[in-house]
Amino acid sequence: MGQRFELRLGANESLFGPSPLAVEAMKLAAEQGQFYGDPEGWELRSEIARRNGCSIENVVLASGIDELLMLFSRAFLALGDVAVTTRGSYPTFEYAVRSVGGRLVHAEYRECRPDLASISNLAGRDLAKIVYVANPDNPSGSWQSVALDVPEGAMLILDEAYSDFAPRMEHSIASNFVRMRTFSKGYGMAGIRVGYALCDPGHVQTLNKIRMHFGVSSVAQAGALAALKDAEHLAHLVEETTRVRSWLEHEMLALGFPSIPSHTNFLTISMGRPERAEGVLTALREMGVFIRKPMLPPLDGYIRVTIGPMSVMEDFFTRFKRALDRPQAVQ
């Protein structure tokens, strides 16, 4: 568009930034950047395993969940195999499945959140090899405590990118169950690119045959390890995100725009109908504000706004109210 965004609220990055301890650790690692990092990520994987009550053999590293989705698709989907997901959910999973010739089957949203019963039924009907569910969900922000049953022969991939903002759920590691997490959201390291999967040791061995062994740099490993050890920073970030998100939800409701209850660092807000949501999106973009909106029903009448510090959100809310008076938003 030839213009610079003044407010970047569309990618669900942490506007609070990474832990100062992580920044310092990455600086020190960068000073030794002439050396290759540990391709096994031993120290970081050991700490992840300790915190999750599992073995290091259950942990595989990658440059974020995006890469993990691609790796699991390459490793466990053959040409024509079925993968089940929710229509309109995180699209990178669909890119990964299509890239290996897999066939996608979609469940619809129910009450603005993934319909777990429908997902399970479709997986059994079509003999799915992979079932993908984001919990908390993107783009709705919803979270569900109910476990999802998948048929024998199917692998359940649970994308927990936003889990730091949701109630904690304990899961045992099983051969058909994979949990994916990232340092991009709660830990504020989206640009550093580091994530991990908790899964069966056999899956770790399989992925180790195809992953880029130096894909998670020494700088990323050092930053992630330090971030894990800075519990105070994460707790403050989650607390502030929750507080500011509640404020914005209340202010939006007062204007007549209800939100989906969120367990993430973003808020998905109803504009009433798709045309108005698109108009608000356009008006804000012209005012230098980057947000997003879901593209498919039933969420295509909503906008999605990343939550940041109160000063940033107050600025956004002021611009949002001005945007409502623009011709694009009056539809």
Burial class (CB in 10 A: 0-12, 13-18, 19+), 80: exposed
Q: How confident is the model at residue 103 (pLDDT cuts 50, 70, 90)?
A: very high
Contacts for 140 with CB less than 8 Å, ≥ 6 apart: 109, 112, 113, 114, 260, 268, 294, 299
Copy the structure tokens of residue 15.
């506007």
Q: Is the dihedral of CA 177, 183, 185, 187 positive or negative?
A: positive
CA dihedral 16, 19, 22, 26 (to 10 degrees): 30
Assign 174 a pLDDT band (cuts: 50, 70, 90).
Answer: confident
Q: Which of 42, 99, 88 is nearest to 66 (CA)?
A: 99
Look at residue 187 in the predicted model and tell me its pLDDT. Answer: 97
Judge contact between 297 and 196, C-beta under 8 A. Answer: no
Are residue 293 and residue 310 in the same domain, yes or no?
A: yes
pLDDT digits (tens, 9 = 90+) for 217-251: 999 999 999 999 999 999 999 999 999 999 999 99
Q: Which of 167, 198, 229 marks a domain boundary?
A: 229
Backbone angles phi, psi at 130, to 5 degrees: -135, 140
| Strands 130-134 and 7-8, sheet pairing | unpaired
Looking at the fold, whether 221 and 237 belong to one and the same domain comes out as no
Each as own residue / partner, the long-range contacts of residues 242-249 (CB below 8 Å, 24 or more positions apart, any chain) are 242/165, 243/310, 244/307, 244/308, 244/309, 244/310, 244/313, 245/307, 247/310, 247/313, 248/305, 248/307, 248/313, 248/316, 248/317
Same domain, yes or no, for 277 and 157?
Answer: no
Within-domain flag for 274? yes
Q: Are residues 184 and 275 in the same domain?
A: no
Give which of 248, 233, 245 is closest to 136, Cα–Cα: 245
Q: Which of 192, 214, 229 is the last residue of a domain?
A: 229
| Residues 331, 324: Cα–Cα separation, whole Å | 10
Q: Are residues 246 and 115 part of one domain?
A: no
CB 217 within 8 A of CB 45: no
Residue 310 lies in a domain: yes
Q: How many domains would you assign to the chain? A: 2
In a domain, 1, yes or no: no
Residues 283, 210 share a domain: no
- We report the CATH number of the domain holding residue 212 as 3.40.640.10
Distances (CA, A) of 275 to 107, 128, 237, 302, 326: 24, 36, 34, 10, 14
pLDDT band for position 330 (50/70/90)? low
CA 64 to chain centre: 10
CA distance 118 to 82: 15
Are residues 295 and 319 located together in one domain of the fold? yes
Residue 72: DSSP 8-state: H
Same domain, 40 and 123: yes
Q: Is residue 185 part of a domain?
A: yes
In angstroms, the CA 195 to CA 185 distance is 10
Question: What's the confidence (pLDDT) of residue 329?
Answer: 73
Contacts of 275 (CB under 8 A, 6+ apart): 331
Ramachandran class of 141: left when φ > 0, alpha when ψ lies in -120 to 50, beta otherwise? left
Given 229, 246, 267, the domain boundary residue is 229
Whole domain around residue 158: which residue ranges? Answer: 20-229
Whether cis (ω within 30° of 0) applies to the bond prior to 261 is: no
Q: Does 172 have pLDDT greater than 90?
A: no
Q: Note whether residue 2 is domain-resident.
A: no
pLDDT reported for residue 27: 98
Looking at residue 249, what is its pLDDT?
Answer: 98
* 34 and 165 fall within a common domain: yes
How far apart, in whole angstroms, are the C-alpha atoms of residue 178 and residue 128?
15
Q: Which residues pair with 59 in a beta bridge?
A: 198
Residues 11 and 60 in one domain: no
Q: CA–CA separation, 20 vs 233, rounded Å?
A: 8
State how far the Cα of 155 lies from the Cα of 152, in Å rounded to an integer.
8
CA-wise closest residue to 323 among 259, 242, 262, 269 = 269
**Do 192 and 249 sit in the same domain of this protein?**
no
Query: Is pLDDT of 284 > 90?
Result: yes
Q: Do residue 304 and residue 186 come from a single domain? A: no
321: CATH: 3.90.1150.10
- Report the mean per-residue pLDDT for the chain: 95
Q: Is the pLDDT of residue 326 over 90?
A: no
Give the global pTM.
Answer: 0.95
Asked if 239 contacts 233 with a C-beta cutoff of 8 angstroms, the reply is: no
